[in-house]
Amino acid sequence: MNDSKVKITIKNNGPIRIEGADFEICDASGAVFNLNGRSAISICRCGHSQNQPFCDGNHAKCEFVSDVVARELPPK
């Protein structure tokens, strides 16, 4: 992966994984989360994480199922 490019991966039955050298995650008001130097982070998709919006692995306990396959979006 190019270090300047951010990669977002939707994990089957799991979180959204964000990896890259330079990204930030903000709340609804625009305040930036302090990621303490992390260059990769996982965002919860199942809704059961006790550390929202970040994944804590609870998707496995709640048996979250969501397979994602890349596709072309319709035109804007």
CATH number reported for the structural domain that contains residue 43 in this entry: 3.40.5.90
CB 56 within 8 A of CB 49: yes
Instruction: Determine, yes or no, domain membership for 33.
Output: yes
Domain extent at residue 59 = 1-66
Q: Is residue 75 part of a domain?
A: no
Q: What is the pLDDT of residues 23-57, one digit of tens each?
A: 999 999 999 999 999 999 999 999 999 999 999 99
Task: With a cut of 80, say whether residue 3 has pLDDT above it.
Answer: no
Name the nearest CA neighbour of 42 among 63, 13, 65. 13
* Tally of domains within the chain: 1
Q: Is residue 55 part of a domain?
A: yes
User: What's the chain's average pLDDT?
Assistant: 95
pLDDT value at position 4?
A: 78
Confidence check: pLDDT of 1 > 60:
no
Q: Strand 7-10 vs strand 40-43: parallel, antiparallel, or unpaired? A: unpaired
The pTM of the whole model exceeds 0.95: no
